Chain A
Amino acid sequence: MLLPSFDYYRPQSLPEALSLLGEMGEDARPLAGGTDLLVNLKLKKLAPKVLLDLGGLEELKGNRADDGLVSLGALDTASRLASGGPEVPGLLAMGAGALGSPQVRNRATLGGNLVTARPAADICLPLLALGAKAVLAGPNGEREVALDGYFKGPGYTVKEAGEILTRVILDAPRPGVGGGYQKLGLRQAMEIALVNVAAHLELEDDGKTVALARVALGAVAPFPMLSPGAASALIGKPAQETCFSEAAEAAAAEARPIDDHRGSAAYRRDMVRTLTLRALRQALSQAQGNQEAQA
């Protein structure tokens, strides 16, 4: 399959990239790992005149920890996130490790995943559950946008054409916090999920009561969604099966799945319930595990 013709630029700094993007407008597309963009070009879904390779932008690279927050570079690959490290929350590592194949993970970036914004995107879901913010740089400077509110539709977000997603900011991993990730596909690898769920739990110092919870659902709405009902079934309650079941029920009720060739809406809704329950159990054991490790 051939690529249509285009010009290729590799800016060396963020200001240079932004000014090129400003000049060329909709004709130019940023290129990160290319695992979505080059496929879309080959399938003739897009025909930009210019590809702007972000690979030379140091501003988009590397991870930093500062004052209880971490800042992850948009060019972090799924492989790198999957292998963890002190700045990477376990939940994000799990999602990144579930994306595609080794070859795809070695190229696919965090920024590309957030901008493509597929309804079941494996990096979007954990970041949404973690309460992350995206940093968008544009001609008039930078803005921070909470991911809750960032997604607008499949492939469609609040990011404007002239903006580049540079980093995401989230709470640093700490004791008493845990995540669970569950992905159901028809195959074991290389696949966009049929349903996926990311659960984030923060426990009080007693190690039992839920201080904060977020449950993100994939493939059951036009974009990755949070389940407010699941969160309110959990917060302030003892972290155990009773409220996990209530949360799973609430998530299933709030999911808005559709029927398609890969599975029916009713099946997807059932799976949301099951996967939410599993993800919460996994999150609890991770949260308690690292609380004990600390003690």
Chain B
Amino acid sequence: MSKQAIILTVNGVARQALVEPNQTLTSLLRDELGLTGTKHGCGVGDCGCCTVILDGETVNSCLVLAMQAQGREVTTIEGLAKGAELHPLQQAFVDAGAIQCGFCTPGMILSAKALLDHTPQPTREEITKGLSGNLCRCTGYEKIVEAVQDAAGKMSEA
């Protein structure tokens, strides 16, 4: 089967791409659309660094076919900042020192965003559950949880 054209919305913008049946959504975003904020790690659903938001829900983009994104809406880490102004979660991660190598960060932040979209004032336990599909090998989870708490506070004041 040859490449097929698909249309989807990425970070609010309609995009077109030619994709192979065996191409993943990670590969569509990174290789066809140049959005390399989405990381490729384990490839099998364990690490969460490929997390994106698909029609309002987080998914591991390594386990979604590009063709399954036809007609759907994707939010990647590139879609969070408004111009030069970081999203409150991004700012909170920087401020709390919740980023070291940064490889897990896009996925962490998107999981945190999906959590706050549904639960604006999460408990500590809700945060750890909400981030349970994202692994970090450097920072440790303490600062990441602090960053999410901090952002939740700031976002509710705003």
Binding site for B on A (CB under 8 A): 1-8, 10, 31, 33-35, 38-39, 42-43, 51, 53, 55, 79, 100-104, 106-107, 188-190
Contact = CB atoms under 8 A, between A and B. Distances in A.
B38 interface: no
The 8 closest A-B pairs by CB, nearest first: A101-B133, A1-B43, A189-B132, A8-B21, A7-B1, A3-B22, A106-B57, A103-B133
Given A6-B21, A43-B44, A102-B130, 18 more contacts: A1-B42, A1-B43, A1-B62, A3-B22, A4-B22, A34-B63, A34-B68, A35-B45, A35-B60, A39-B45, A100-B45, A102-B58, A102-B111, A103-B51, A103-B59, A106-B57, A107-B63, A189-B132
Nearest to B67: A8
A108 to B, nearest CB: 10
B1 A103 contact: no
Contacts of B42: 1
Contact of A103 (B43, B48, B67, B68): B48
Contacts of B129: 102, 189
Contacts of A106: 54, 57-59
Contacts of B96: none
B111 A39 contact: no
Interface string B40-77: 00111110100100100111101111011000000000
A16 to B, nearest CB: 17
Contacts of A103: 45, 48, 51, 58-60, 111, 133
B24 interface: yes
B65 A8 contact: yes
Interface in B61-95: 62-65, 67-68
Contact of B114 (A7, A39, A55, A102): A102
B59 A107 contact: yes
Contacts of A4: 22
Contact of B20 (A5, A51, A53, A102): A5
A42 to B, nearest CB: 6
Interface string B127-157: 0011011100000000000000000000000
Contact of B68 (A43, A53, A101, A104): A53
18 contacts: A4-B22, A7-B1, A7-B21, A8-B67, A34-B68, A35-B60, A42-B43, A53-B68, A101-B133, A103-B51, A103-B59, A103-B133, A104-B45, A104-B60, A107-B63, A107-B64, A189-B133, A190-B46
Contacts of B59: 103, 106-107
Contacts of B130: 102
A102 B63 contact: no
A100 B133 contact: yes
A3 to B, nearest CB: 4
A55 B55 CA distance: 14
Nearest to B20: A5
B49 to A, nearest CB: 11
B1 A8 contact: yes
A122 to B, nearest CB: 14
A272 B21 CA distance: 44
